[in-house]
């Protein structure tokens, strides 16, 4: 009897040991670890498609991931049914890119970056230890029939005209609001000390309100990353600016009607005598009547420098880009004696204007 009991205990312990070993083995085999897989940008939105760029920012876990994915669903059915679709990126490391097709026009979609891991015998372990440390769920709206022209007001009641260029709808005037979309006031930072202490503020060229009437206000960097645009609009991203440039080049908006290289400055610049410099072949100031074929009506309002002085009114138009995920805020510029637009990294305390683009 005692031998039988000993045998049963021995068998029980062996089973427990093997079970624990198996669980430990599963945990080690399918453990992913904390990771960050974030959407960098959503662009090239059309009536039925969108392009999404995302980055896996924790390469140490790549060996345990067998796929990077985007899950998407219409917001109108979110939490109501199981119509979420998941598509794999071609790559499973670093920065990845995909285009989603067959979407419905004029529809808001919710997109989430996800990972795929080897399920093995214990998928629950793989899922639980692989949860992302950052929520990167975002929304976008596919285009309906884009309006060619129209008007919109900001929270202060300022009126802006807009036009459609290719797949994008742009305001024709620079932003003039002194309040965030939430109603909170934006600080007016007139003196140099307050300007360099904060990127959350605005000013006027030479601290003169007459410039704001024509050119709009000059804003600090962090304003470009905030809810400053009217509802349904946003501060353009770097991708938005690149999309504009690419469309204009490809559709013959270069000053010489070519479709190669960036020679689009005249097509964006106003026809007004605000632009001041010696005429330069193909440049903005060579025959002003040939400017503004796009209707964008860019004006040379200058900018505020890192040293808080004001420069280049009459010579340059400088506009912010927004920067998702704390990336660099690039500037978009046109200069009087140049044939091209430029995307560049401005100094940290620069002040520039904001031109808004519609969400859809």
The closest of 207, 231, 233, 232 to 218, measured between CA atoms, is: 207
The pLDDT of residue 269 is 98
Residue 8 falls within a domain, yes or no?
A: no
Helix H or strand E encompassing 247: helix 238-250
Q: Is pLDDT of 225 > 50? A: yes
> 124, 141, 158 — which closes off a domain?
141
What does pTM read for this prediction? 0.64
Which pLDDT does position 325 carry in this prediction? 64
Pair (316, 168) in one structural domain: yes
Shared domain for 204 and 307, answered yes or no, is yes
User: Residue 9: inside a domain, yes or no?
Assistant: no
357: CB partners within 8 A, 6+ apart? 168, 169, 170, 171, 233, 234, 235, 236, 240
Element (H, E) at 203: strand 202-203
The reply to whether 128 and 178 lie within a common domain is no
Residues 255 and 221 in one domain: yes
Backbone angles phi, psi at 297, to 5 degrees: 60, 50
Report how far residue 215's alpha carbon sits from residue 300's, in angstroms, rounded to the nearest whole number: 8
346 falls within a domain: yes
| CATH at 78 | 2.60.40.10
199 in the same domain as 109:
no
- β pairing state of 316-320 and 331-335: antiparallel
pLDDT at residue 19 tops 70: no
Q: Is 3 a member of any domain?
A: no
Which domain-ending residue is among 141, 171, 186? 141
Domain membership of residue 248 (yes or no) is yes
Cβ distance 356 to 175 under 8 Å? yes
Report d(CA 239, CA 325) in Å as an integer.
14
Q: Are residues 170 and 232 both part of a single domain?
A: yes
* Domain total of the chain: 2
Show the domain range for 137.
37-141
Let me know if residue 43 belongs to a domain.
yes
Q: Which residue has the higher pLDDT, 140 or 219?
A: 219
Shared domain for 184 and 208, answered yes or no, is yes
Most confident segment among 13-22, 58-67, 103-112:
103-112
pLDDT at 198 over 90: no
> Mean pLDDT for the chain?
84
Q: Of 109, 141, 173, which closes a domain? A: 141
Write down how long the chain is. Answer: 360
The verdict on 153 and 273 lying in the same domain is: yes
| pLDDT, tens only, 119-139 | 554 544 444 444 455 456 788
Residue 24 within a domain: no
Same domain, 128 and 271: no
List pLDDT tens digits, range 302-336.
999 877 799 999 999 999 999 866 678 999 999 99
Q: What's the pLDDT at 264?
A: 98
List pLDDT tens digits, range 263-296. 999 999 999 999 998 888 999 999 999 999 999 9
> Same structural domain for residues 185 and 93?
no
- Provide the pLDDT for residue 118: 64
Query: What are the DSSP calls for 51-119, one per residue?
Result: EEEEEE--GGGGGG--EEEEEEEEGGGTTTSS--EEEE-S-SSSEEEEEE-SPPTT-EEEEEEEEE---
Q: Please name the residues in contact with 114: beta carbons below 8 A apart, sequence gap of 6 or more.
A: 37, 68, 69, 70, 71, 86
Q: 204 and 323 share a domain?
A: yes
Highest mean pLDDT among 10-19, 140-149, 238-247: 238-247
DSSP string, 6-27: HHHHHHHHHHHHHHHHHHHHHH
Shared-domain flag, residues 230 and 341: yes
What number of other Cβ atoms are within 10 A of residue 156's Cβ? 10
334 found inside a domain: yes
């Amino acid at each position: 009897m005692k031998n039988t009991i000993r045998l049963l205990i021995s068998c029980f312990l062996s089973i427990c040991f093997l079970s624990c070993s198996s669980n430990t083995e599963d945990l080690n085999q399918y453990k992913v670890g904390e990771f960050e897989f974030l959407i960098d940008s959503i662009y090239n939105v059309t009536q039925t498609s969108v392009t999404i760029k995302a980055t896996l920012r924790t390469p140490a876990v790549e060996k345990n991931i067998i796929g990077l994915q985007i899950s998407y669903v219409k917001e109108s059915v979110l939490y109501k049914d199981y119509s979420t679709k998941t598509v794999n990126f071609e790559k499973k490391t670093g920065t990845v890119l995909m285009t989603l097709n067959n979407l419905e026009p004029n529809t808001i979609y919710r997109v989430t970056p996800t990972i795929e891991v080897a399920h093995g015998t214990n998928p629950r372990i793989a899922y639980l230890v692989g949860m992302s440390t950052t929520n990167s769920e975002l929304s976008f709206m596919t285009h309906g029939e884009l309006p060619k022209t129209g008007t919109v007001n900001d929270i202060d009641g300022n009126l802006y005209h807009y036009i459609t260029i290719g797949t994008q709808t742009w305001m024709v005037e620079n932003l003039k609001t002194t309040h965030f979309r939430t109603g909170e006031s934006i600080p007016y930072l007139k003196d140099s000390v307050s300007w360099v202490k904060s990127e959350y503020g605005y000013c006027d060229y030479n601290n003169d309100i007459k410039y704001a009437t024509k050119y709009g206000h000059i804003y600090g960097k962090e304003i470009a990353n905030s809810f400053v645009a009217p509802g349904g609009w946003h501060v353009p991203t770097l991708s938005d600016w690149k999309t504009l440039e690419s469309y204009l080049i490809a559709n013959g908006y270069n000053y010489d009607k070519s479709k190669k290289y960036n020679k689009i400055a005249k097509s964006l610049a106003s026809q007004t005598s605000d632009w001041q410099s010696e005429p330069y072949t193909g440049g903005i100031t060579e025959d002003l009547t040939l400017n503004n074929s796009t209707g964008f009506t860019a004006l040379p309002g200058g900018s505020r420098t890192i040293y808080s002085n004001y420069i280049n009114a009459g010579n340059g138009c400088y506009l912010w880009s927004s920067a998702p995920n704390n990336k660099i805020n690039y500037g978009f510029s046109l200069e009087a004696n140049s044939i091209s637009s430029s995307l560049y990294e401005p100094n940290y305390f620069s002040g520039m204007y904001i031109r808004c683009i519609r969400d859809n």
